[in-house]
Every structure is written in structure tokens, then in C-alpha cells.
Structure 1
Amino acid sequence: MSISHKKHDVFISFRGEDTRKTFIVHLHHALMKENIDAFVDNNLKRGDEVWDSLVEAIKDSHMSLVVFSKYYATSKWCLNELLKILECRELQGQVVIPVFYNIDPSHVRHQRESYEIAFGKYERESRNDESLKKKVSDWKKALKDAANISGWDSSNFR
């Protein structure tokens, strides 16, 4: 039996503008208090390529927490992180836990309300761009797949 040696216990994917100074700072503190190494993007080394560092951190984590918030879908970075996280789930068996922070899980699953608005914009942008059209389709599937994973809904907790 081989033991997987990963650098991080948890990778946290989140939309910074929505949650960084509220929910994420408390979540990160609570995990650190329990000696759980949680990677958040402010752990990036200065001078490193951001995307490459994020991909490496995702791949080098035992699990990922995906914090869906009202404007998560407005970030192409977040959506691309989600694709990489779900790829690691499929290929490496990484545990993925969605957290629905002040958003109904069905809005994520079916791209309603703020998610629908974000995807309307992406679809307009992709009219003449086949690679973006494919990416938008992949993002929609990823949101649906992630929202179908059992997770936590903040409306059920303090």
C-alpha cells in the first residue's frame, strides 16, 4: 500500500471579493487551529507564475473545498480552478467538498440568478470564439457536477 505524500491538506477555491475578508479568513483560521494545512491564494510566493502555482497547489492537496458564493461564476479564474479540481477528483481521487456560502445550491447547479447573468456574458463573448464556447460548456458542466456533490449549505449553519 502506498501512502500519498501531498504538500497541503486542503486547497480552498473561492471568489476573493465575495468571501476573502469574511468567511475565508475565519475558515482558514479554524483549519490552522486544528493543524490542517489549508492553501489559499495569499500563500503564493512572490515572483511565481500565479496560474502554475495554483495548479500545483490543487494537484498537491489531499482535498479541495470549493466555496461557491454569489459572484463565484463571474471569475474565469475560479471556473478554471474548478475544472482542475474536478480533474484531480477524477484522476487522483481527490476529495472535493462544495460549500454554498449565502447561495442556494440550485443556483450553482442550474446557473440561475447571478450565475445565469455571468454565463449570459460569457456566451455573448464566445459567439465568434469556438475555444471559449467549449470552455463555457465545460464550466457549466463543472458547476453542475460540483453542485451535485454532497457538501455544506451555509443557510443550514451559523
Structure 2
Amino acid sequence: MYVIVVISGNYAFSRCCLIELAEIVRCKKKMGLIVFPIFYHVHPFDVRKQTGSFAEAFAKHEKDPRVDTKMIQTWRDALTDVGGISGWHLQDR
């Protein structure tokens, strides 16, 4: 089983995307799912370390009373995992 994840600068602002990514990473670890990331106009380092727009998104999530800290850490861990996978890094030329 393969999954292609397209990560853009606004990706981390979407709770739905982060929830889905956490589930993908869970399946990767449990069932050996192969994840192929496409970094669309973002650097893999920013995804892995949650800098730039990813830091802004998490600052917003941390202020949201509907999101608990355990869930935020799960999302951070998922981004760190996927950010460390070799994939396509697409930028304007």
C-alpha cells in the first residue's frame, strides 16, 4: 500500500489534514504503509522542524481550546516523520 501526501505551506493550518496525516503515519508504522511526500513550495526542513508557516499554524492550534496538547504533539510527530522521508521537493523555477 502506498500513499502520496502533498504538503504545502498552508497544510498545517488544516486540522483535517493533520488528523489524516497522523493516521497515515500510524498505518505506516503498524502495517508498513509506504509514504511518498511531495513538498509543494515548502522545504522539507520546515516540515520536519515545524518552522515558517508550520510554526504559525501550530501557534494558532495551541490557542484553540478545542485542540488538546496531546493531539498537537501527535501532529508534530507526524510532520517530523514525513518531513524526514525523501520525496519530491517542488519549487517554482
Per the TM superposition, whether the score is higher than 0.5 is: yes
C-alpha displacement of 1:89: 0.8
Letter in 1 for 2:13: T
Question: 1:137 maps to which residue?
Answer: 73
C-alpha displacement of 1:74: 0.4
Instruction: Give the SS at the match of 2:68.
Output: helix
Higher RCO by CA contacts (8 Å cutoff, separation 6 or greater): 2
Aligned residues: CA RMSD: 1.7
Q: TM-score, length-normalised on structure 1?
A: 0.55
Question: 2:16 maps to which residue?
Answer: 77
Task: Kindly indicate whether residue 49 of structure 2 is the aligned counterpart of residue 113 of structure 1.
Answer: no
Percent identity of paired positions between Structure 1 and Structure 2: 39
Q: Tell me, in whole angstroms, the C-alpha distance in 1 between the residues paired with 2:75 and 2:23.
A: 11
Letter in 2 for 1:69: S
Per-residue deviation, residues 76-98 of structure 1 (Å, max 9, x unmatched): 00001101111111111111011
C-alpha displacement of 1:136: 0.4
Give every structure 1 segment of 4 or more consecutive aligned residues whose post-TM-superposition deviation is greater than 6 Å.
Answer: none
Gaps of 5+ in 1: 1-61
Gaps of 5+ in 2: none
